Amino acid sequence: QVTTEISKLGTNLLFVRPGQFGPGRAATDAKKFTLRDLDAIREQVPGLRAVAGINQSSQTVVFSGQSRQTTIIGSGNDYLVAQNWELASGRSFLPSEERGGQAVCLIGETVRSRLFGSTPAVDQTIRVGNVACQVIGLLDKKGQSGMGSDQDDVVMMPLKVFQRRIGGSTDISSIMLSAEDGVSTAKVQADVERLLRERRKIIAGRDDDFTVNDMTQMAATLTGTTTLMTGLLGAVAAVSLLVGGIGIMNIMLVSVTERTREIGIRLAIGAVERQVLMQFLVEAVTLSVFGGVVGIALGLAIAYTAVTLMSVPFVASPSIILLAFAFSAAIGMVFGYFPARRAAQMNPIDALRHE
């Protein structure tokens, strides 16, 4: 789902970040970018449709007694162009506002609904942290991202206003680039890397202290990460199932031993092996399914609590729940078979003599 979400953004996007990232490379401390870096890329790298510097923070947003902790993005109109993000109402930033004038902002649908309700939001003044900010536009609704975050829980203001009033620094955390249609992202990436190496005075033979990734590379990185996480979680789940199955088998073996005389009586009065086998298999499956139901309930409760605390939408897949239920039954059947077969194959005379 994450890689699908990335592909929806298009293949012409590139992200520039300070430090080294990617498979086999640890993140390193490196100086961030500046507005001059942004202008240099815009002026010297051909084939770009949008160049957006991005800073981000989490702040409390307040309007008329209502407050909400939300994501604050400092960027410009090029951010909207690169993201193909339209406005539902209002207007985007004026050139004078992007140059660092009046504190104005665009808000997402979640922020609008939580703060304003049925009150019109455009032209109202909200407080972002300690900054009074005029709402000039409402962003189109995007919904939940592939990573589970609410893309509409956002307030966006001009980059320079963010730097001066929120961040207190002229640094830029990352840069988003959008190549024009038909322009090779590989060429754009090479041009950006060459330009930044020159500007950051990185001599030949030295590694870059920044990373440029296109969407294909990001998708590949995320795919590798999710594959690794899936493998690790699968290994943990397999060990848990094995331990649980062995526990069920031991419990059933103890039960068979304690009920030896009962089994002998049943066999003596006419019960066949299949009936005894089914009796203990049903008991093992019932025990396993009960544990599975308790585990599913606890898992859902913990997940719901966690996503509520993180303000992330709660999503429960019925197919996954059914699969977990089926696995519980299967574990009971597999690990309960040996004790059940042992009970079914008892000699009635020996079983009746058992003390």
Mind spelling out the 3-state secondary structure of 215-278? HHHHHHHHHHHHHHHHHHHHHHHHHHHHHHHHHHHHHHHHHHHHCHHHHHHHHHCCCCHHHHHH
User: Which residue is listed with tokens 């009936």?
Assistant: 275
More confident residue, 197 or 218: 197
Band the pLDDT of 3: cuts 50, 70, 90.
Answer: low
Answer yes or no: is pLDDT of 109 > 80: yes
**Average pLDDT value over all residues in the chain:** 86
CA distance 107 to 346: 74
> Residue 148: is its pLDDT beyond 90?
no
Residue 155 is predicted with a pLDDT of 95
Closest alpha carbon to 317 in 336, 299, 331, 338? 299
Pick 195 or 183 by higher pLDDT: 195
The least confident of 20-24, 134-138, 179-183 is 20-24
| Least confident range of 31-40, 118-127, 153-162, 219-228 | 219-228
In angstroms and rounded to an integer, the radius of gyration of the C-alpha atoms of the chain is 31
Q: What is the structure's pLDDT at 22?
A: 53
Give pLDDT, residue 153.
92
Residue 123 neighbours by CB distance under 10 Å: 9
Segment 248-275 shows an average pLDDT of 89
Three-state DSSP state, 46: coil
So what's the pLDDT on residue 234?
85
Predicted local confidence at residue 175, as pLDDT:
94
**Of 176, 172, 178, 177, whose CA–CA distance to 159 is shortest?**
172
Give the pLDDT of residue 48.
93
Which of 263, 246, 324 has its CA nearest to residue 289?
324
Residue 147: pLDDT band (50, 70, 90) is low
Model pLDDT, residue 10? 57
Q: How many CB atoms sit inside 10 A of residue 170's CB?
A: 14
Judge whether 171 and 34 are in contact, CB under 8 Å. Answer: yes
Q: Residue 140 pLDDT more than 60?
A: yes
pLDDT of residue 6: 53
* Number of alpha carbons in the 13 Å side-chain half-sphere of residue 11: 8
Other C-beta atoms within 10 Å of 299: how many? 14
Whole-number pLDDT of residue 355: 62
The residue with greater pLDDT, 347 or 224, is 347
Model pLDDT, residue 2: 53
Asked which of 11-20, 247-256, 306-315 is least confident by mean pLDDT, the reply is 306-315
Q: What are phi and psi of 181, to 5 degrees?
A: -60, 135
> Higher pLDDT residue, 146 or 114?
114
What confidence score (pLDDT) does residue 33 get?
92
Q: Which residues contact 169 (CB under 8 A, 6 or more apart)?
A: 163
pLDDT of res. 229:
85
Average pLDDT over residues 223-236: 84
Beta-bridge mates of residue 174: 54
Q: Which runs of consecutive H residues, i.e. helices, occur in the chain?
A: 2-8, 35-44, 77-83, 95-98, 109-115, 159-161, 185-199, 215-258, 260-268, 273-309, 318-344, 348-353
pLDDT at position 27: 47
pLDDT tens digit string along 19-78? 876 544 544 457 889 999 999 999 999 999 999 999 999 999 999 888 999 999 999 999
